[in-house]
Amino acid sequence: MSSPAAAALAAPQLSLSLVGVPNCGKTALFNRLTGSRQKVANYPGVTVERKEGRLTGPRTGRSFRVVDLPGAYSLEPATLDEAIARDVVLGRHATEPAPDLLVCVVDATNLRLSLRLVLELKRLGRPMIVALNMSDLAAQRGYTLDRAALERSLGVPVVPTVAVRAGGERALIEALDSYRFPPATLDGTAALGVEPSPAASAADIEATQREVRRVLNEAGYRVPARLRMLSRLDAVVLNPVAGPALLAVVLFLMFQAVFTWAKAPQNLINTGVQWLNAALGGVLPQGPLRGLLLDGVIAGTGSVLVFLPQILILFLFILALEDSGYLPRAAFMLDRLMGRVGLSGRAFIPLLSSFACAIPGIMAARTIPSSRDRLATIMIAPLMTCSARLPVYALLIGAFIPQRAVGIFNLRGLVLFALYLAGVASALLVAFVLKRTVMRGEYRPLLLELPEYRWPHLENLALGLWERTRIFLTRVGTIILSLMVVLWFLASFPAPPAGATGPAIQYSVAGFLGRGLEYLFAPIGFNWQISIALVPGLAAREVAVSALGTVYAMSGAKDVAGALAPVIAQGWSIATGLSLLAWYVFAPQCLSTLAVVKRETNSWRYPLYMAAYLFALAYLGAFVTYRVALMLGGGAS
């Protein structure tokens, strides 16, 4: 009678599962092991990707069916990816057999993060090999580790790998080829060890952490002194008191810089736009072409182009904070606050993305496992202050908020910070209501790998700023320019009747539309010019600034191409200016975002709900602001 070992070796194929935390190089190692012999599909009923490949041992001819499992921090799942990885490892998955052998891939430069998963897998009693990936990078950076001691401490083979380098998988292939399966596991009769509990207690987690520290000490694992010093910053950055205070200071400085640093380049752009307007005005004869170019194109695009420096300064700070490793720590700090309103910790990244534009933020919500949490995140993403709002904010703040210091801070920067804060606060309030009414669900904490601190890479910053510049100029040259041409035609035709005394725009299609909408918006202080500008603003919020420039240029206002702020400061009351600021905190979403919401939810119901509640909030916020400002004496223009 043949032995179990011989029977296993004679078997046509063994099942091998690659397990590891996210970003440990597991998929790169899978590609090295299997080459082009891969099949990619989704697990049944979900959108989680399943990768399978083939590997044959060069010495024994042992054949493996290799499966790259989704990344998991633990066998106690917090996400759909982790639940699938756990079910496959435990042999519970309906379409995936239990693996004969586990390969747990760990990052040698962040061994502490992976060891919890290694210890959980070890308790299962499955045959296992630990692949010590990025071992070359760890050596280059000055990490120290006794691999043999780590192997003794864990009681399983530990093999160094370099997944990003050709040949870096050879040691693992040799280990797989010669692996000696315990006799009890080869005939498929082995019982699992201790399975993970449904929810680990604080005592369980602390016990695992003690075990992790023991293994690291026995293996002589040491982080370079420079990195240890930087990691001590987390004692301040992640402190419950000092951390939020530091974040507030960083944000204050960012919004101060938006107004202080942008002044010189804005003056330069203003001068250039005025020169172009004067140069064309001096050579073009009176007629439709002159009106189109001066009042439509230059007045419209010039009004919004002047805010490019402020947008770039804002993104310079965001890119630098992201590249330095600070933003993930800000996410960690704010997780508790988000949990109090019922949001998933994973909602932070989509909401953070929405500060650039709501569209990528809404699409990033796909990573949230709970459908109700995902829907709640999508519904509040537009309340984050996207970059398209910044030109509107900058115009109105420049027109109605005086340039003065409040202590060491610029008053305009403080107002801009307050507007961003109002957007965040309103989003959290809406989430609180949604999660306690129509989208009830339990809180899921954020599990996040914190990257190392590092100086922002100048090339990354330059590329990021160039990309934002390209996007902004593309919008100016396509969406904004085309809408301004359309608006100019609507504001020019039909021609005024004989003997008309007012500006021609008052007798045009746009003028009639604006005066009709004024009945709706008069209670919140909006005149017919603002009412006209809100319509093209539905395509993109910053278009409202260009529309105001075109409308006032065609209404007879002078120097609109160079500076719109003084024109509206003279023509509007402070109450109207503040009311429009409040409107844009909640402003109804642009049409492209509503289309993305429809695609992501596969229903028109949610984009319609979104547009309705945002319009209601915007109208209510503007109404309250306008009435309070009137009571405080802000009605005079």
Provide the residue ranges of all domains of the chain, joining segments of one domain with +.
4-230, 245-440+478-631
Q: Give yes or no for residue 592 having a pLDDT over 50.
A: yes
153-198, pLDDT tens digit by residue?
999 999 999 988 888 899 999 999 888 887 655 444 344 445 555 5
pLDDT-derived band at 631 (thresholds 50, 70, 90) equals very high
Q: Which residue type does 307 have? A: F
Superfamily of the domain at 4-230: P-loop containing nucleotide triphosphate hydrolases (3.40.50.300)
268-283, pLDDT tens digit by residue?
998 898 899 888 888 8
Average pLDDT over the chain, rounded to whole? 84
So what's the pLDDT on residue 200? 55
So what's the pLDDT on residue 247? 86
Q: Which of 131, 108, 99 is nearest to 29 (CA)?
A: 131
pLDDT-derived band at 44 (thresholds 50, 70, 90) equals low
Taken as a whole, the chain contains a residue count of 637
Burial class (CB in 10 A: 0-12, 13-18, 19+), 40: exposed
Q: Which of 509, 530, 256, 250 is nearest to 397 (CA)?
A: 256
Name which residue leads in pLDDT, 268 or 637: 268
What is residue 54's three-state secondary structure?
strand
In the predicted model, what is the mean pLDDT of residues 529-549?
88
Out of 183-187, 221-225, 294-298, 547-551, which region has the weakest mean confidence (pLDDT)?
183-187
pLDDT-derived band at 447 (thresholds 50, 70, 90) equals low
Q: Give yes or no for residue 128 having a pLDDT over 90.
A: yes
d(CA 295, CA 300): 7
pLDDT-derived band at 1 (thresholds 50, 70, 90) equals very low
Q: Give yes or no for residue 487 having a pLDDT over 50.
A: yes
In the predicted model, what is the mean pLDDT of residues 563-586?
92
Output the six-digit token pair for 410.
Answer: 């610029």
User: Ranked by mean pLDDT, which of 37-41, 267-271, 364-368, 557-561 comes out on top?
Assistant: 267-271
So what's the pLDDT on residue 560? 61
So what's the pLDDT on residue 578? 96
pTM equals 0.70
Name which residue leads in pLDDT, 450 or 570: 570
So what's the pLDDT on residue 37? 59
Region of 23 please: left (phi>0), alpha (psi -120 to 50) or beta. Answer: left
Q: Give yes or no for residue 41 having a pLDDT over 80.
A: no
So what's the pLDDT on residue 3? 44
User: Which residues contact residue 176 at a Cβ distance below 8 angstroms, ignoring those fewer than 6 apart?
Assistant: 16, 55, 57, 62, 64, 101, 103, 129
Output the six-digit token pair for 346.
Answer: 């994973």
pLDDT-derived band at 5 (thresholds 50, 70, 90) equals very low
Q: Which of 380, 348, 383 is nearest to 364 (CA)?
A: 348
d(CA 526, CA 518): 7
Name which residue leads in pLDDT, 69 or 344: 69
| pLDDT > 90 fraction of the chain, expressed in percent and rounded | 30
So what's the pLDDT on residue 8? 44
Name which residue leads in pLDDT, 182 or 391: 391
pLDDT-derived band at 432 (thresholds 50, 70, 90) equals very high
So what's the pLDDT on residue 103? 95
So what's the pLDDT on residue 42? 56
So what's the pLDDT on residue 40? 58
So what's the pLDDT on residue 296? 81
Q: Where are the beta strands (DSSP E) in 75-182?
A: 101-107, 128-133, 158-160
pLDDT-derived band at 284 (thresholds 50, 70, 90) equals confident
497-514, pLDDT tens digit by residue?
876 677 778 888 988 999
d(CA 606, CA 465): 34
